[in-house]
A and B are shown apart, each in its own frame.
With several copies, the nearest count.
Chain A
Amino acid sequence: QITVFAAASLKESLEQIAASYERQTSDQVRLSMAGSSTLARQIEQGAPADIYLSANPDWMDWLQDRGLIDAATRVDLLRNRLVLIAPTRPRIKGLDFGDGRIAMALVDAVPAGIYGKAALETLGEWPALQSRVVQTDNVRAALALVALGEAPRGIVYQTDALAEPRVQVLAEFPADSHPPIIYPAAIVAGRDSPASQRFMAYLLSDQARAIFGAAGFAVMQADR
């Protein structure tokens, strides 16, 4: 049995992957989904996690600095893209910020918000838009604000936007306008076992990639 601590946004894909993995092997997979920061701190406090899957590199770095992950096993598993969204009506196209609120995750704390702020700064829009930004504790809440029409614009991951029929994607932010959005994975220090390695390998397998891809993630090449 292996325990995977993974960012909550990966829940659906990971559950499918775990299910198919369990069908193929005799291993049991437990998924504990929460915020990346929460999970990282729990690992620091000795959580029974075998594999950590973070929504941003920072918390992975934080653990690595403390020697709490097996650095050799760290891989950048997934990428995501940042998009500007609006409610489905009226139909608009392009990087049009309109007027009114812009929903984002916390711009100083939550990865999607941090990336979004960086993108806006790169585009030179941040000073003008800053006062219109409303921040939520996670990107799903920002999505909900747009879906409900409370905020006319939002900046979320493409994976979130794709699955929400009540929003349309206006534009994708240029990949170079913000640091790369990377979901790293690693085996937790001292948890290196054949089973953990098997599952890590499975995460990089074609089957897993297909599932991640269907959810909208861009799959990284296993080049590290």
Chain B
Amino acid sequence: MSWLGPEEWQAVALSLKVSFWATLVALPLGTLTAYVLARHSFPGKQALNALVHLPLIMPPVVTGYLLLLTFGTRGALGSFLQEWGLVFAFRWTGAALAAGVMAFPLMVRAIRLSIEAVDPKLEQAAATLGASRLWVFVTVTLPLILPGILAGTVLAFAKAMGEFGATITFVSNIPGETRTLPTAIYGFLQVPGGEGAALRLVVISVVIAVGALLLSEFLAHRAARRVAGA
């Protein structure tokens, strides 16, 4: 498309990369967290639950600031992880982290709701047939919560595509490294006459996210039809 400059394409590509990785890494963690919250009770459970929801509650800037304090080069965890070669500050990885953190509560909620809807009697049946807890999860729980996983994934992906406040606060806006679609859009909106360019980018990001949404609907529909038994 000729109406997008190379810088914009770069932002599109970066946003895709960031959202993809944010979603991918959040998925197993989110599933685990959702499972633990849905099926276990332990001291500190509600604290974990609140922690997961924090990014939703706080203004994104605050979340970004806290990420900066924690995962920045001077941050407690950041300096520790840096020794392991894992750098977030001013890197696209940091953008992915911010997007992942912001998307996490949405993902966990969706998956948790699905897990709570699984009939424990089926899991018990699997156990009597010799499946250990892990196998029960993999062969029974997981396939049954597929709709929730899909919903959580698409919510997280959409959120990651749209995340702006925490990302720019945490990793700034470096073209080619952390300049995602939303920060580019924000930039265009700050200058008079930038609306046109902003609109183009909004359309692109909507098209991508809606595409992901439709794909997830299609997959969920297929899974549901199979379970209903056709």
Q: Taking the complex as a whole, does A directly touch B, i.e. does some CB pair lie under 8 Å apart?
A: yes
Question: Chain A: residues with CB nearer than 8 A to chain B?
Answer: 3, 5, 8-9, 11-12, 30-35, 37-42, 45-48, 58-59, 61-62, 101, 103, 106, 108-110, 133-138, 140-141, 144-145, 148-150, 159-160, 162-164
Residues on A with C-beta less than 8 A from B73 are 45-46, 149-150
Q: Is the CB of A47 within 8 A of B190?
A: no
Residues on B with C-beta less than 8 A from A3 are 174
A-B contact pairs, 13 of them (CB 8 A): A8-B186, A32-B172, A45-B73, A45-B89, A48-B90, A109-B187, A137-B168, A140-B189, A145-B68, A148-B72, A149-B74, A150-B72, A150-B90
Q: Is the CB of A46 within 8 A of B172?
A: no
Residues on B with C-beta less than 8 A from A144 are 65, 68, 169
Q: Is the CB of B192 within 8 A of A162?
A: yes
Residues on A with C-beta less than 8 A from B189 are 37, 109, 140
Chain B CB count within 10 A is highest, among A135, A138, A149, for A135
Q: Counting CB contacts under 8 A, is B69 at the interface?
A: yes
User: In the complex, A162 Cα to B86 Cα: how many Å?
Assistant: 35
User: In the complex, A108 Cα to B90 Cα: how many Å?
Assistant: 19
Interface residues of B in 162-202 (CB under 8 A from A): 164-165, 168-169, 171-179, 183, 186-194
Q: Is the CB of B168 within 8 A of A150?
A: no
Q: Is the CB of A11 within 8 A of B187?
A: yes
Question: Given B75, B90, B190, which contacts A138 in the complex, CB threshold below 8 Å?
Answer: B190
Please list the 5 inter-chain residue pairs (A to B) with the smallest Cβ-Cβ separation, ordered nearest first: A163-B192, A109-B190, A134-B172, A45-B72, A8-B190
Question: Chain B: residues with CB nearer than 8 A to chain A?
Answer: 61, 65, 68-69, 72-75, 89-90, 164-165, 168-169, 171-179, 183, 186-194
Q: Is the interface of A mostly helix, strand, loop or mixed?
A: mixed
Cβ of B62 to closest chain A Cβ, rounded Å? 12
Q: Is the CB of B72 within 8 A of A12?
A: no
Cβ of A206 to closest chain B Cβ, rounded Å? 23
User: In the complex, A32 Cα to B174 Cα: how many Å?
Assistant: 5
Q: Is the CB of B174 within 8 A of A30?
A: yes
Chain A CB count within 10 A is highest, among B90, B177, B192, for B192
